[in-house]
A and B are shown apart, each in its own frame.
Chain A
């Protein structure tokens, strides 16, 4: 029994059918952690990318260092750090929040790079034309640079969303009851790992396919008439 739901071990099919609702509960956690992590990565990445672009070295350098550090250390270390070290300093977060935060922090290093590349791909002449027309810096960014950068950014961000989903099982080591952890617990208690793990694999495939499809739909809906994309 898990989450108050009993399983039926009489036949393989009955077993699979009975644990499906339990796995779906885990799947909800997986989706929640992915989305939360993704949004943290989107926000923090934009912040890091902006800071790295600041002309002042005293701001740009630490931002560049943090990005490099996050990208070059394993997710598990960052997760342990947030989960086991932060409480020593009085910051105690639930396992789920800690996990989603760790995912977001790690992936912010990647999304920062996507933002930077997307903005840099906009030709310099665009900024010069905007300045010659006396558009403010803010308006130049919002009306001229961003619309041309977004169409380059969205597909890459979609890939990272799928990557984050596939990294969620790492959170099981800090007791988050995401899909794989749930399957493992079922296996531990019934001595049948084959069926729950196979189902998790199938559910994962379904999940990532849907996410990839969603990103593709979003990408085709973006207004990109006239924007030269290489």
Chain B
């Protein structure tokens, strides 16, 4: 069996009094597509934000690709990571945000070439070529010179996905990528994510409320509750015969909101 690409061991994250991740143990295999579901406040977005190094952890160790993420191997065991180490580790991951977070003062093309040029050191031509390939992948080749404000929400989110992919991450983190979209725009974004899910190499972590979608693309579904994984397994198992009462209640509330 392969070494897991992500391994969280006893991870604790607190915001003041509130414990958001409560001794979380969680592993993801290389190339695995994992969907995280659960009620709001269960810590599901926080996991992604910890992995993307947007939130520090209070306890525990996170390993990404065999190396500790928030720590470095020092003389006396693990020490808090330096910015240089964090930058090296960040390189392995890309993130797509609920609210897209495109740079509004840059064209679509510039949004895609900024990091490859200034972080990876690509030449303007290489960066542009890479960006154009990705825009074609997300079906927005004609929008290269547009500004984000001229695009629909669905188009903006597709640009954001392309922007993250431009850094060639091993792991893609999707934080509720369709939650801020009008219902008729959800489909175009899900289609792009789905086409990515067919890439065997790419590891994907997806936080979503789109249960049907999760069922179709995931290798595994994790149900988060109160900062831990309460239940996990193949999608058919979780959605058809959940073992835990809390999972059943949550799925019922999401799938039959009017009852």
Contact = CB atoms under 8 A, between A and B. Distances in A.
Interface of A: 123, 125-126, 128-136, 139, 143-144, 147-148, 223-228
Contacts of B99: 125
Given A128-B54, A226-B147, A134 B87 contact: yes
B20 to A, nearest CB: 17
Q: Which of A130, A147, A224, A225 has the most CB of B within 10 A?
A: A225
Interface stretch (B7-15, B21-29, B89-97, B242-250): B89-97
Interface string B215-249: 00000000000000000000000000000000000
A129 B87 contact: no
B101 A139 contact: no
- Could you say which interface size class chain B belongs to? 20 to 34
A132 B97 CA distance: 10
B119 A143 contact: no
B95 A132 contact: yes
A132 B104 contact: no
A147 B107 CA distance: 13
B148 interface: yes
A135 B148 contact: no
Interface centre among B103, B106, B119 (most CB of A within 10 A): B103
A129 B90 contact: no
Contact of B167 (A131, A133, A224): A133
A228 B119 CA distance: 27
A37 to B, nearest CB: 31
Contacts of B97: 125, 128-129, 132
A58 B150 CA distance: 45
A147 B90 CA distance: 25
B162 interface: no
A123 B54 CA distance: 15
Contacts of A139: 118
Contacts of A130: 103
Contact of A228 (B103, B104, B114): B104
